[in-house]
C-alpha cells in the first residue's frame, strides 16, 4: 500500500482552509511567528496515543520510554502520566527524571561506563533497576550498594550476537559491541554466577538491546531464542531462574513516504509467543517482559519548523534552499545519512513540483538536511518549512555548533501551545565562558 505524508506527520496534522499546516489544532505558521524558528513542535496527542498503543500491546509487560530520544522535565511528567517506566542512560537523564518527580522505582538505569557517582546517584534515588554492563561494573555496584546500605535490583546486559538490519552506528546486538557481556563468549554466564555470590545485589534478569530503527521482527525472535537458551544455562549453572527479560527498544518508524513503520501489536504478539514457546521447551517459567521504545513513541509526534532564507539555484546542478537551523538541531542526516520529508507549512495546499536540497545554516557543506526533496516551485525567503518525524534524537542530540542557540520545544494540544524547553539565547550560549 503506498504511504502518504500522513504516516510521517503527527496524527493531528491537517490542512487548514488558508493552506496552512495545522498540528494539535494550531496553525504552524502562527506558531513559527509567535515562538520563532527553528522550533520543535510536539503533538501531545500523538505521543499519548502511541504510548497507549504500546501499553495495550504489552499489557503483561513493563514498558519503559527511553529518555535518550527526547527528555526534559515536562516530557518526564507526560511519560509518568502515561503509566510508562523510564530508561535513563546517564546521570543527567536521571537528574531530569528526579526533577520531574518521576517515580524512581519505575526507572531503569543504563550505560556502558557508569561512574561511581552515577551508580551512587541511582542507588540513593532508589531506581527500580540498574543494568550492569560489565563484570567490573557488577562488582563495583555491589561495593557501592554495600557502602550505602542500599540493596539494589540489577539486570545484566547481555550481548546476544545478533545483527539487526539497521545503520551500523545504531547496531548493538552483535558480538563486536561496546555494550554488554557476551553470551557466546561465556562472560554473561560468569557474571550470572558471580552475581549469586554478591551480598548487596539482586540480579532479577537479563537485558539486551540489539539496535535501533529495526523494521523486521526476525532479529528480535532470534534474540529471544538466544536469551531463552541463556536462561537455561544460568539455571543449570546456578539454580536461579530469571524473573525478567528486557528486550530493549528498536522499532522502526516512517521517516519518509517509502518507509514502513513497525506495528507494535504484531511485534508484541510474535515476541510473546516465541518467548512462551521457548520457555516451555526448556522447562522454565515465562519471565516478565520489559521493553524500552523511544523512537516509535516520540519521533512522529514532532515536526521542526524552519524559516526559509537564501535560495541558490545552480542551473543544471541543484537548487539549495537554506533554512535557519541545520546540523545543530538535527545531526541525523549528517551522521547516519537519515532521510526526511519536508513541506511548506504556509503553502501546504500547493503541489510540490520542484526538486530542491534543504541546506542548514552551518559553516560546512555537509550540513544538508534533505537532499532532493520536492517543494512548491515558488519556495522562497520567508516560507515556513516543516520537517516531520524529528521527535527522536533531534533535540536530544542538538548542539551549539557555530554557537547557535538551541531551539525551543513547544507542545500543542487542542489549539493551545506551551513552551516545554525555552529557546537558548546568545547569553545562554556564552554563560559558561570564563
Q: Is 274 in the site for ligand LLP (CB under 6 A)?
A: no
Contact with ligand LLP (CB under 6 A) among 41, 45, 51, 68: 68
**Three-state DSSP class for 299?**
helix
Q: Which of these, 327, 204, 228, lies nearest to 279 by C-alpha position?
A: 228
Q: Is 205 in the site for ligand LLP (CB under 6 A)?
A: no
Give the residue nearest to ligand LLP (CB).
Answer: 249
DSSP string, 335-368: HH------EEGGGTTS---EEEEEE-SSSSTT-E
Q: Is 87 in the site for ligand LLP (CB under 6 A)?
A: yes
Distances (CA, A) of 4 to 182, 260, 304, 350: 42, 11, 19, 16
Question: How are beta strands 354-359 and 318-323 bridged, if at all?
Answer: parallel
**Three-state DSSP class for 230?**
helix
Give the nearer residue to ligand LLP in terms of CB position, either 127 or 379: 127
Q: Is 395 in the site for ligand LLP (CB under 6 A)?
A: no
Contact with ligand LLP (CB under 6 A) among 71, 162, 294, 389: 294
Contact with ligand LLP (CB under 6 A) among 93, 120, 292, 383: 292
Interacting residues with ligand LLP between 320 and 359 (CB under 6 A): 332, 336
Segment lying near ligand LLP (by CB under 6 A), choices 34-42, 137-145, 245-253, 374-382 = 245-253
Instruction: Please report how close the Cβ of residue 249 comes to ligand LLP at its closest, in angstroms.
Output: 3
Alpha helices (runs of H) in 14-132, residue ranges in sequence order: 28-35, 44-57, 73-81, 91-99, 116-125
**Three-state DSSP class for 410?**
strand
Q: Is 50 in the site for ligand LLP (CB under 6 A)?
A: no
Instruction: Yes or no: say if 255 and 217 are a contact pair by the CB < 8 Å rule.
Output: no
Q: Total residues at the site for ligand LLP (CB under 6 A)?
A: 22
Active site residues per annotation: 363
216 φ/ψ angles, rounded to the nearest 5 degrees:
-100, 155
Give the nearer residue to ligand LLP in terms of CB position, either 110 or 274: 110
Q: Which of these, 89, 149, 96, 148, lies nearest to 114 by C-alpha position?
A: 89
Site string for ligand LLP, 165-194 (x = CB under 6 A): -----x------------------------
Instruction: Please report how close the Cβ of residue 367 comes to ligand LLP at its closest, in angstroms.
Output: 17
Contact with ligand LLP (CB under 6 A) among 20, 295, 347, 406: 295
Omega of the bond prior to 253 within 30 degrees of 0, cis? no
Give the nearer residue to ligand LLP in terms of CB position, either 260 or 426: 260
Q: Which residues contact 64 (CB under 8 A, 6 or more apart)?
A: 84, 85, 86, 87, 106, 108, 290, 291, 292
Q: Is 209 in the site for ligand LLP (CB under 6 A)?
A: yes
Q: Is 249 in the site for ligand LLP (CB under 6 A)?
A: yes
Count Cβ atoms within 10 A of the Cβ of residue 54 and give its class: 0-12 exposed, 13-18 middle, 19 or more buried. Answer: buried
Instruction: Please report how close the Cβ of residue 271 comes to ligand LLP at its closest, in angstroms.
Output: 14
Give the nearer residue to ligand LLP in terms of CB position, either 241 or 396: 396
Interface positions with ligand LLP (CB under 6 A): 66, 68-69, 87, 110, 170, 209, 212-213, 248-251, 292-296, 332, 336, 392-393
Amino acid at each position: 500500500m503506498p504511504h502518504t505524508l500522513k504516516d510521517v506527520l503527527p496524527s493531528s496534522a491537517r490542512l487548514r482552509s488558508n493552506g496552512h499546516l495545522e498540528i494539535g489544532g494550531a496553525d504552524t505558521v502562527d506558531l513559527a511567528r509567535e515562538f520563532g524558528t527553528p522550533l520543535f513542535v510536539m503533538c501531545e496527542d500523538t505521543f499519548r496515543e502511541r504510548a497507549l498503543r504500546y501499553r495495550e500491546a504489552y499489557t503483561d509487560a513493563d514498558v519503559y520510554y527511553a529518555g535518550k530520544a527526547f527528555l526534559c522535565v515536562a516530557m518526564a511528567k507526560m511519560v509518568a502520566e502515561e503509566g510508562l517506566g523510564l530508561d535513563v542512560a546517564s546521570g543527567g537523564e536521571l537528574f531530569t527524571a528526579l526533577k520531574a518527580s518521576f517515580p524512581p522505582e519505575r526507572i531503569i538505569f543504563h550505560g556502558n561506563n557508569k561512574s561511581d557517582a552515577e551508580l551512587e546517584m541511582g542507588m540513593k534515588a532508589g531506581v527500580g533497576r540498574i543494568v550492569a554492563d560489565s563484570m567490573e561494573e557488577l562488582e563495583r555496584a555491589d561495593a557501592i550498594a554495600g557502602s550505602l546500605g542500599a540493596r539494589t535490583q540489577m539486570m545484566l546486559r547481555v550481548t546476544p550476537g545478533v545483527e539487526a538490519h539497521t545503520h551500523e552506528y545504531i547496531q548493538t546486538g552483535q558480538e563486536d559491541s561496546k555494550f554488554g557481556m557476551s553470551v557466546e563468549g561465556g562472560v554473561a554466564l560468569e557474571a550470572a554466577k558471580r552475581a549469586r555470590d554478591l551480598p548487596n545485589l539482586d540480579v532479577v534478569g537479563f537485558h539486551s538491546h540489539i539496535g535501533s530503527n529495526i523494521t523486521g521482527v526476525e532479529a528480535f525472535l532470534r534474540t529471544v531464542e538466544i536469551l531463552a537458551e541463556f536462561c537455561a544455562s544460568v539455571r543449570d549453572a546456578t539454580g536461579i531462574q530469571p524473573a525478567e527479560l528486557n528486550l530493549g527498544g528498536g522499532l522502526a518508524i516512517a521517516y519518509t513516504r517509502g518507509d514502513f513503520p513497525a506495528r507494535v501489536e504484531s511485534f508484541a504478539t510474535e515476541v510473546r509467543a516465541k518467548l512462551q514457546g521457548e520457555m516451555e521447551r526448556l522447562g522454565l517459567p515465562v519471565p516478565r517482559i520489559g521493553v524500552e521504545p523511544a523512537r516509535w513513541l516520540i519521533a512522529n509526534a514532532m515536526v521542526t519548523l524552519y524559516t526559509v532564507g537564501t535560495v541558490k539555484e545552480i542551473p543544471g546542478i541543484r537548487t539549495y534552499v537554506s533554512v535557519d537551523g541545520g546540523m545543530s538541531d538535527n545531526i541525523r542526516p549528517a551522521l547516519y545519512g537519515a532521510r526526511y520529508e519536508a513541506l511548506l507549512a504556509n503553502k501546504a495546499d500547493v503541489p510540490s513540483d520542484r526538486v530542491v536540497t534543504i541546506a542548514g545554516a552551518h559553516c560546512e557543506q555537509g550540513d544538508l538536511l534533505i537532499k532532493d526533496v520536492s517543494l512548491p516551485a515558488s519556495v522562497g525567503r520567508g516560507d515556513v518549512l516543516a520537517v516531520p518525524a524529528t521527535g527522536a534524537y533531534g533535540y536530544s542530540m542538538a548542539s551549539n555548533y557555530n554557537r547557535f542557540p538551541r531551539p525551543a520545544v513547544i507542545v500543542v494540544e487542542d489549539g493551545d501551545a506551551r513552551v516545554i524547553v525555552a529557546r537558548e539565547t546568545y547569553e545562554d550560549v556564552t554563560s559558561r565562558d570564563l
